Amino acid sequence: KRGTFMMTLTPGDDLQPITEGSDWLFVLDVSGSMRGKYATLAAGVQKALGKMRANDRFRLVLFNNHSHELTSGYINATPKMVKHYSDKLAAYQPNGGTNLYAGLYQGLQSLEADRSSAIVLVTDGVANVGETAQKGFIKLLKTKDVRLFTFIMGSSANRPMLETLTQRSNGFAVSISNSDDIVGKILEASSKMTHQALPGVK
């Protein structure tokens, strides 16, 4: 008779560990609504950078009305570089609107196909400058093979859209309230970046 069933397929040991390090792209909301939360964001990112492996690399892209990169290309996560860019991040003053699309667009540029890459998006609000339609964001993410991990600060964000984007890229979206939350969730994300992946399985 008609019915339903569930089947789970688990790959064996064919997925090789990633030994060359991973690339981490931080796309950070520095709009005016982040003023009361920005110190938490900066402290959390600093702690997370400090826990990276020496062969991991990172980039910092900030967005408000526009986007710009705080780093100059990929930076090796050495203690010296982590402190230098953590200090620059902490000194930034949030202002302006929320052009989320510009931040993601700039972040997706210069991804290297032979490196395992992940995007950490931290935001507290709704995209209100530039492209704001969900279909535009989905089309953008389809252009690259990268996982998106979204950390939501506060309750005003467009959570349905952010969750859809992360699901499409095999990441996750979670709410956070303090710097330790950010570190814990980034470590959770990094545990998903230790082995090669099987994307697009049918």
Identify the H or E element spanning 97. none
Specify burial of residue 31 (Cβ count, 10 A radius: 0-12, 13-18, 19+): buried
Token pair in block for residue 172: 């996750």
Alpha-carbon span 127 to 141, nearest angstrom: 16
In this prediction, residue 200 has a pLDDT band, given cuts at 50, 70 and 90, of: low
Which tokens belong to 60?
């910092």
> Is the pLDDT at 30 greater than 80, yes or no?
yes
Structure token pair of residue 5: 């069933």
Given a cut of 80, whether residue 96 has pLDDT beyond it is: yes
Of residues 90, 120, 118, 105, the one with CA closest to residue 28? 120
Integer-rounded Cα Rg, in Å, for the chain is 17
In sequence order, what are the beta bridge partners of 63? Answer: 29, 67
Q: Two tokens at 177?
A: 């309230």
For residues 16 and 30, give the distance between their C-alpha atoms in angstroms, rounded to a whole number. 37
pLDDT at position 113, please? Answer: 73
Q: What is the reported pTM?
A: 0.79
Those residues with Cβ within 8 angstroms of residue 200's Cβ, 6 or more apart along the chain or in another chain? none
Average pLDDT taken over every residue of the chain: 79
